[in-house]
């Protein structure tokens, strides 16, 4: 009769997330989204019918970690988009009020916070630095208010 030999190669559960082991919530960026999604999808696709409780737990931990990383990417992306939109709403030709001074000062602080993190891509960092310069330029166009100057006789 015929003889068939089958070789089964198995991989450890830990190997599923090897491609993203260096990533955490302090250094994850938009550039890593596809890699994290791939690991998450692989972990979700594993048939756990014969898995031990330890293996099932390990798979769930990979999925939870991926979800946390994806949440961080989403939060940073939302903040980045908020800043870009807020600064883009300003036209360098418009006349700015004192209220704008507070808004622009806060935007500069927000840009400093996000650019001091390792959660943005190099392109995002370059764009934010340009937006910061625009904010500083806009701030310099706001006339300082006279009402705060001390009264002199």
Q: What's the predicted TM-score (pTM) here?
A: 0.82
Using an 8 Å Cβ cutoff, are 139 and 104 in contact?
yes
Average pLDDT over residues 23-28: 96
pLDDT at residue 148 in the model: 47
Residue tagged 């939302």 (tokens) = 78
CA distance to 27, 60, 95, 125, per residue, from 138 (Å): 32, 49, 10, 20
* DSSP element (H, E) containing 96: none
Residue with the bigger pLDDT between 153 and 39: it is 39
């Amino acid at each position: 009769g015929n003889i068939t030999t089958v070789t089964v190669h198995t991989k450890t559960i830990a190997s599923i997330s090897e491609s993203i082991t260096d990533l955490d919530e302090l250094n994850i960026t938009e550039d890593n989204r596809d890699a994290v999604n791939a690991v998450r999808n692989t972990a979700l696709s594993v048939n756990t019918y014969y898995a031990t409780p330890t293996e099932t737990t390990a798979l769930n931990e990979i999925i939870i970690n991926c979800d946390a990383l994806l949440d961080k990417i989403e939060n940073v992306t939302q903040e980045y988009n908020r800043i870009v939109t807020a600064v883009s709403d300003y036209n360098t030709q418009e006349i700015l009020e004192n209220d704008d001074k507070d808004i622009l000062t806060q935007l500069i602080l927000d840009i400093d916070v996000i650019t001091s993190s390792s959660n943005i891509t190099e392109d995002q960092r370059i764009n934010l630095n340009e937006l910061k310069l625009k904010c500083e330029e806009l701030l310099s166009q706001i006339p300082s208010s006279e009402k705060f100057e001390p009264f002199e006789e």
